[in-house]
């Protein structure tokens, strides 16, 4: 989707971090923006910044764990701006616990937001996007942790959800090929966001215990090569224009991914030798 001006972008997790920067970047390109977040005040602040810069945007409350909430968000996009051309399933949360310390409530929260949030977004928006007959694009936010497993900082459940986000995006790209709707999966490394403070939006019905790994240890400001959300947003818009499937922001992390693929390749060689 090379032409963005005049189009409509819907972005979840838009109250802060990558979502807020994506919203601002889309508005700067002349897009009308629906900035959605479970943090209503954060979404409103994002919209205020866009409007202050002369852009057009509307804030919306959304709980991506619930399909009905995404259906309502789609209604808002069509009723307010007449459609959606760029859907960014960006909402995400993190729990910092080793696998064996994770509770069922931790798994449910992470998978409901990071995976089912994407599934619900696709179900609510993509059929309408296809029906409107215009060029469109979907961006699903995964992580470098969706391409290689990193045991540090207790990212087991988070990693599982992001591997799933990558695979969903790969399948979606194949299924939508030739439809006029492109698909990208965003796989960033460390980004200066508040995701390590995810407990601030953890729902009351999914309580958790204090992890042995402190969230402060996962603060991205301590990680080499950390990028700003604004940098990530520009990578996304370039990827949308060029219809790239994989949006990579941290090329220095390539060896970790290559190491995983090499291990898988060796396993195939072993199976061939033993057959």
Q: How far is CA 47 from the centre of its chain?
A: 19
217 has a pLDDT exceeding 70 = no
Q: Is 90 contained in some domain?
A: yes
209 or 98: whose pLDDT is higher? 98
Q: Which helix (H) or strand (E) holds 274?
A: helix 254-274
Mean pLDDT, all residues of the chain:
94
15 has a pLDDT exceeding 90 = yes
212 has a pLDDT exceeding 80 = no
- 5: number of Cβ within 10 Å: 8
What is the pLDDT, as a whole number, of residue 223?
A: 67
Residues 226-254: tens digit of each pLDDT:
999 999 999 999 999 999 999 999 999 99
Q: The domain that contains 259 carries what CATH number?
A: 3.40.50.720
Number of domains observed in the structure of the chain: 1
pLDDT band at 200 (very low <50, low <70, confident <90, very high): confident
204 or 27: whose pLDDT is higher? 27
Q: What percent of the chain has pLDDT over 90?
A: 84
* Active-site residue, selected from the candidate residues 81, 109, 125, 158: 158
What is the pLDDT, as a whole number, of residue 143?
A: 97
- 87: domain range? 8-274
pLDDT band at 21 (very low <50, low <70, confident <90, very high): very high
- What does the pLDDT average to over 156-167? 97
Phi, psi (deg, nearest 5) at residue 210: -65, 125
How distant, in Å, are the alpha carbons of 29, 118, 127, 145, 251 from that of 164? Answer: 31, 10, 21, 11, 21
Angstrom distance (rounded) from CA 235 to CA 224: 19
210 has a pLDDT exceeding 80 = no
165 has a pLDDT exceeding 70 = yes
How many DSSP H helices and E strands does the chain contain? 8, 7
Q: Is 91 contained in some domain?
A: yes
Cβ 9 vs Cβ 23: under 8 Å: yes
Q: Is 124 contained in some domain?
A: yes
Residues 126-159: tens digit of each pLDDT:
999 999 999 999 999 999 999 999 988 889 999 9
**Which structure tokens are listed for 271?**
């199976």
Q: Is 2 contained in some domain?
A: no
pTM above 0.85, yes or no: yes
101 has a pLDDT exceeding 60 = yes
Helix axis angle for 40-52 and 17-28, nearest 10°, is: 30
Using alpha carbons, select from 156, 179, 30, 182 the residue that is nearest to residue 94: 156
How distant, in Å, are the alpha carbons of 64, 110, 198 from that of 156? Answer: 21, 10, 15
- What does the pLDDT average to over 183-190? 96
Q: Is 118 contained in some domain?
A: yes
Alpha-carbon dihedral sign for residues 4, 5, 8, 13: positive
Angstrom distance (rounded) from CA 36 to CA 118: 14
186 has a pLDDT exceeding 90 = yes
196 has a pLDDT exceeding 90 = no
246: annotated active-site residue: no
Q: Is 3 contained in some domain?
A: no
pLDDT band at 218 (very low <50, low <70, confident <90, very high): low
Q: Is 33 contained in some domain?
A: yes
pLDDT band at 214 (very low <50, low <70, confident <90, very high): low
What is the pLDDT, as a whole number, of residue 116?
A: 98
What is the pLDDT, as a whole number, of residue 219?
A: 58
């Amino acid at each position: 989707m090379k032409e963005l001006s005049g189009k409509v972008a819907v972005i979840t997790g838009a109250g802060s971090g990558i979502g807020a920067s994506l919203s601002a970047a889309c508005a700067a390109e002349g897009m009308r923006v629906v900035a959605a977040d479970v943090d209503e005040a954060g979404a409103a602040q994002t919209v205020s910044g866009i409007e202050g810069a002369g852009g057009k945007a509307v804030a919306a409350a959304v709980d991506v764990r619930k399909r009905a909430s995404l259906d309502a968000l789609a209604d808002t996009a069509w009723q307010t701006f007449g459609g959606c051309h760029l859907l960014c399933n960006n909402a995400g949360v993190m729990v910092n616990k080793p696998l064996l310390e994770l509770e069922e409530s931790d798994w449910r929260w992470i998978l409901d937001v990071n995976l089912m949030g994407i599934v619900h977004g696709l179900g609510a928006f993509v059929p309408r996007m296809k029906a409107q007959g215009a060029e469109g694009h979907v961006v699903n936010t995964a992580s470098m942790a969706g391409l290689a497993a990193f045991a540090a900082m207790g990212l087991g459940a988070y990693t599982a959800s992001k591997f799933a986000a990558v695979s969903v995006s790969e399948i979606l790209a194949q299924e939508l090929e030739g439809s006029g709707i492109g698909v990208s999966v965003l796989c960033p490394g460390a980004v200066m966001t508040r995701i390590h403070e995810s407990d601030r939006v953890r729902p009351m019905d999914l309580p958790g215990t204090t992890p042995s790994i402190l969230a402060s240890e996962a603060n991205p400001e301590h990680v080499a090569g950390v990028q700003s959300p604004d940098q990530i947003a520009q990578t996304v818009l370039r990827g949308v224009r060029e219809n790239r499937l994989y949006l990579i922001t941290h090329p220095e992390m390539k060896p970790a991914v290559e190491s995983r693929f090499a291990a898988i390749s060796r396993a195939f060689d072993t199976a061939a030798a033993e057959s």
